[in-house]
């Protein structure tokens, strides 16, 4: 079963809003405790969730030997728990309450390069993934102390995450954001986003999940020694934008901090097809590295490895 064939597991809109009110009244730790209980029972009573989590961790463990990826009951349950806690972090980031001092770049020079590129006003295209919690980067990018507070364009799966995405839009305090449904990208969308990038905007688009509306537009490649489908569309779209491209990941660490990893894609003077293939390859290498470092933050709860 592919990810787009699954029904959204988010709580109903009313329950999400109740969670938000509890967060405002009792604080983050209280909501995290609730998330722990919910995720535990969701894992225990879902054979499908147990099966996919165990299989995916098995593949990662076989490739990396990382003990955190060993498919034990504890590690599988912990992965689901981490995902539930990441949703609380998303809520905090969208509400403008996440402390940017808790965002640490793995390499200070990467942070400086990224800030300089954003401040150039030429636009930056981020190809992200479902490892870690990329929404935390909103707090960093939209903080005037770090950057020039550019307009943010985000591509989301409207069909699969409609309830939770709608909830985040309701609570977000930073309004300088435009969202697009990945299922409905048209030539007009490309023209608008390209113009936005030329005006100094930034774009976030995931490169590790194929779209339900474009399952034929994929490329197969080796990922963790398995043959996996990746979306061609994300990489073609990024290439067509003719702007700076970064691979990026924000992973949760101890003491409620997030470590950010970035890699800038450096174009070469070669044909577009060859450049596109190199873009695919470097992204998959980056994703492999992030997965090996953070196997319990590999948030693909479906049969990604076929």
Q: Is 196 a member of any domain?
A: yes
Long-range contacts of 184-192 (CB under 8 A, 24+ apart): 184/158, 184/213, 185/155, 185/233, 185/237, 190/237, 190/240, 190/241
Would you say residue 227 has pLDDT above 60?
yes
Q: Is 127 a member of any domain?
A: yes
Q: Write down the mean pLDDT value for the chain.
A: 86
The whole domain housing 222 covers 3-297
Q: Is 306 a member of any domain?
A: no
Would you say residue 163 has pLDDT above 50?
yes
pLDDT at 3: 38
Q: Is 303 a member of any domain?
A: no
pTM: 0.89
Q: Which of 73-77, 101-105, 216-220, 292-296 has the lowest mean pLDDT?
A: 216-220
Q: Which of 4-18, 188-202, 225-239 has the lowest mean pLDDT?
A: 4-18
Distance separating alpha carbons of residues 83 and 34, to the nearest angstrom: 13
Q: What mean pLDDT comes out for the span 75-85?
A: 95
Q: Is 304 a member of any domain?
A: no
Would you say residue 99 has pLDDT above 90?
no
pLDDT at 272: 87
Confidence of residue 305 (pLDDT cuts 50, 70, 90): confident
Q: What mean pLDDT comes out for the span 97-124?
A: 90
Q: Is 285 a member of any domain?
A: yes
Looking at the structure of the chain, the number of domains it has is 1
* Cβ 174 vs Cβ 96: under 8 Å: yes
Q: Is 118 a member of any domain?
A: yes
Q: What mean pLDDT comes out for the span 258-271?
A: 90
pLDDT above 90 covers what percent of the chain? Answer: 53
Confidence of residue 162 (pLDDT cuts 50, 70, 90): low
Q: Is 302 a member of any domain?
A: no
User: Residue with structure tokens 């450096």?
Assistant: 266
Question: Does residue 150 or residue 250 have the better pLDDT?
Answer: 250
Question: Does residue 252 or residue 11 have the better pLDDT?
Answer: 252
Q: What is the pLDDT of residues 49-61, one digit of tens each?
A: 999 999 999 999 9
Q: Which of 14-18, 28-32, 134-138 has the lowest mean pLDDT?
A: 14-18
Residue 189's φ and ψ, nearest 5 degrees, are -60, -45
Would you say residue 130 has pLDDT above 60?
yes
Q: What mean pLDDT comes out for the span 23-44?
A: 90
Residue 120's φ and ψ, nearest 5 degrees, are -65, -20
């Amino acid at each position: 079963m592919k990810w787009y064939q699954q029904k959204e597991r988010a709580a109903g809109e009313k329950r999400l809003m109740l969670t938000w009110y509890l967060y405002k009244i009792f604080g983050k730790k209280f909501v995290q405790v609730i998330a722990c209980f919910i995720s535990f029972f969701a894992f225990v009573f879902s054979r499908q969730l147990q099966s996919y989590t165990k299989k995916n961790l098995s593949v990662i463990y076989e490739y990396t030997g990382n003990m955190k990826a060993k498919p034990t009951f504890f590690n599988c349950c912990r992965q689901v728990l981490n995902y539930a806690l990441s949703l609380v972090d998303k809520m905090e980031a969208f509400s403008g309450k996440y402390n940017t001092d808790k965002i640490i770049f793995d390499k200070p020079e990467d942070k400086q390069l990224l800030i300089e590129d954003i401040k150039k006003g030429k636009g930056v295209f981020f190809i992200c993934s479902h490892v870690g919690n990329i929404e935390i980067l909103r707090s960093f990018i939209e903080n005037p102390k770090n950057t020039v507070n550019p307009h943010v364009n985000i591509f989301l799966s409207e069909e699969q995450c409609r309830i939770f995405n709608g909830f985040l839009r309701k609570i977000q305090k930073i309004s300088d954001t435009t969202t697009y449904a990945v299922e409905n990208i048209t030539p007009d969308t490309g023209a608008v986003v390209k113009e936005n990038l030329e005006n100094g905007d930034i774009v976030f688009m995931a490169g590790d999940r194929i779209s339900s509306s474009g399952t034929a537009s994929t490329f197969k490649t080796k990922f963790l020694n398995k043959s996996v489908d990746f979306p061609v569309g994300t990489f073609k779209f990024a290439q067509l934008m003719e702007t700076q491209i970064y691979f990026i990941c924000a992973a949760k660490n101890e003491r409620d901090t997030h470590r950010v990893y970035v890699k800038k894609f450096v174009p070469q003077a070669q044909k577009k097809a060859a450049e596109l293939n190199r873009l695919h390859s470097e992204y998959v290498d980056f994703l492999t590295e992030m997965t090996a470092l953070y196997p319990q933050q590999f948030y693909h709860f479906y049969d990604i490895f076929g």
